[in-house]
Chains A and B, each alone.
Chain A
Amino acid sequence: DVKVTQSSRYLVKRTGEKVFLECVQDMDHENMFWYRQDPGLGLRLIYFSYDVKMKEKGDIPEGYSVSREKKERFSLILESASTNQTSMYLCASTQRGINSPLHFGNGTRLTVT
């Protein structure tokens, strides 16, 4: 069965901290994504990657970076966390090609105080 695992379900961090959100998929998918979800705004794409060491900016990349050193792992980094980055973060993956569905993890709810 398809599995996308996010390392933490809940995180509380302080302003200015460096934060790492980890995502692992076990389906050998080429494409991986990071979204954030906020009430009234829906899901917004932060970054995606279509291969190891490759990354592309999404709609709202400011304040974030990503790392993809291995095919199965895609990390989202908040270099200096701010309160406006308090959100639900969702990781997803899919096979290459336009006929493959996206599979999501269960999310990490991050609170920055």
Chain B
Amino acid sequence: DAKTTQPTSMDCAEGRAANLPCNHSTISGNEYVYWYRQIHSQGPQYIIHGLKNNETNEMASLIITEDRKSSTLILPHATLRDTAVYYCIVRVDYSGAGSYQLTFGKGTKLSVIP
């Protein structure tokens, strides 16, 4: 499966947009890009995912480049509660049964600063 590269840490001022980049240069045609976040001592929380087109939901927006080799997660108005580790992962279907394997990297630690 494709690997991802993310910055180790980032800071963002409260109320500003947080833009978290991810490189996935070896992504293949059937692999989705997923974003999760993990707040300290909790399980990872699903945020958003996409294949080719940009996506938006109530939590965030996902911008995927045309060649699909990188993407950016955008939190439009970051709050202190958005402080977490953010994981960008890609996913591939390994079998006809629909089973697959997700590989989590080390993620980006986002600190939202008052």
Residues of chain A having any CB pair with chain B under 8 Å = 4, 30-31, 33, 35, 40, 42-45, 48, 50-51, 54, 56, 58, 90, 92, 96-99, 101-107
**Range, interface on chain B:** 20 to 34
- A32 to B50 Cα, complex, angstroms: 22
- A107 to B49 Cα, complex, angstroms: 23
The residue on B at minimum CB distance from A31 is B99
B30 adjacent to chain A (CB < 8 Å): yes
B13 adjacent to chain A (CB < 8 Å): no
Whether the Cβ atoms of A98 and B91 lie closer than 8 Å is: yes
Which residues in A have their C-beta under 8 angstroms from that of B46? Answer: 101-103
CB distance from B37 to the nearest CB of A (A): 11
| Chain B CB within 10 A, most for which of A43, A105, A106 | A43
Whether the Cβ atoms of A98 and B93 lie closer than 8 Å is: yes
- A45 to B104 Cα, complex, angstroms: 9
The residue on A at minimum CB distance from B97 is A50
CB distance from A107 to the nearest CB of B (A): 5
Whether the Cβ atoms of A90 and B99 lie closer than 8 Å is: no
B106 adjacent to chain A (CB < 8 Å): yes
Whether the Cβ atoms of B98 and A50 lie closer than 8 Å is: yes
CB distance from A8 to the nearest CB of B (A): 14
Which residues in B have their C-beta under 8 angstroms from that of A48? Answer: 99, 101
Which residues in B have their C-beta under 8 angstroms from that of A35? Answer: 104
Which residues in A have their C-beta under 8 angstroms from that of B74? Answer: none
Which residues in A have their C-beta under 8 angstroms from that of B104? Answer: 35, 42-44
CB distance from A30 to the nearest CB of B (A): 7
Which residues in B have their C-beta under 8 angstroms from that of A44? Answer: 104
Whether the Cβ atoms of A42 and B43 lie closer than 8 Å is: no
B25 adjacent to chain A (CB < 8 Å): no
The residue on A at minimum CB distance from B48 is A101
Which residues in A have their C-beta under 8 angstroms from that of B42? Answer: 106-107
CB distance from A64 to the nearest CB of B (A): 16
Whether the Cβ atoms of B105 and A98 lie closer than 8 Å is: no
Whether the Cβ atoms of A101 and B43 lie closer than 8 Å is: no
Q: Which single member of B44, B51, B101 contacts A58 (CB below 8 Å)?
A: B101
- A90 to B41 Cα, complex, angstroms: 11
